[in-house]
Structures are given as structure tokens and as C-alpha cells.
Amino acid sequence: MSPGDLLSLVAVLCALIAMVGILAKVYVRRLAFLERKLEITAGQTAEKAAQYAARNTELEQRVRVLERIATAGGIGGGELALQIEQLRDRGVTAQ
């Protein structure tokens, strides 16, 4: 190998090392971006889950109030209460 060939080989190797370094840096930045994006999405998902849970609790309380109103001692109240319980039992076994 002549000194010119050796110099060319060193130049090509240096260029390859530089390209690998650049590509590695780009890859690391991409991973950091995806990680931040995932953290943001996870935070939003947790917030939505908390909102849904609160809304679900609120709706359950409203249904209980409506059941009490519908079944409160009036005429036919006991019959309606029995029907609600039967529907509730049927819903539990169907799931």
C-alpha cells in the first residue's frame, strides 16, 4: 500500500466515524423526543381517567337520588323498587 492509499483509507474511516457519530446523535435526540411525547400523553391520559372517574361517581350519585325519589313511599313505590332490584340483578348476571 502506498502512502496515498493509506491516507485515503484514513480519510474514509474518519468520514465513516463522523457519519456514525452524527447518526447516533440524531437517534438519541429522536428517542428523547419520543420519550417527552410519551410523558405528555401519559399525563393527559391520567387526567382524563380522573375526570371520567369523577363523572362516573357523580352519575352514580344522581341515579341513587332518582331511585330514592322514584321509590319513596308513594303509591306503587314498593313495586317500582322491586322492579329496579330485579333489573339490577339481571344486569349483574348478564355481565
pLDDT tens by residue, 29-80 = 999 999 999 999 999 999 999 999 999 999 998 888 887 777 776 665 567 7
Domain that holds residue 51: 3-94
- The pLDDT of residue 92 is above 70: no
pTM for this model (two decimals): 0.50
Cβ neighbours for 81, distance < 8 A, ≥ 6 positions apart: 67, 70, 71
Residue with cell 348478564: 94
Cell numbers representing residue 73 in the block: 313511599
pLDDT at residue 95 greater than cutoff 50: no
Structurally, the chain folds into a number of domains equal to 1
pLDDT in tens, 55-65: 999 999 888 88
Residues 6+ apart with CB under 8 A from 9: 1
Q: How far apart are CA 88 and CA 82, in angstroms?
A: 10
Euclidean distance between CA atoms 17 and 25, whole angstroms: 12
The three cell numbers of residue 92 are 349483574
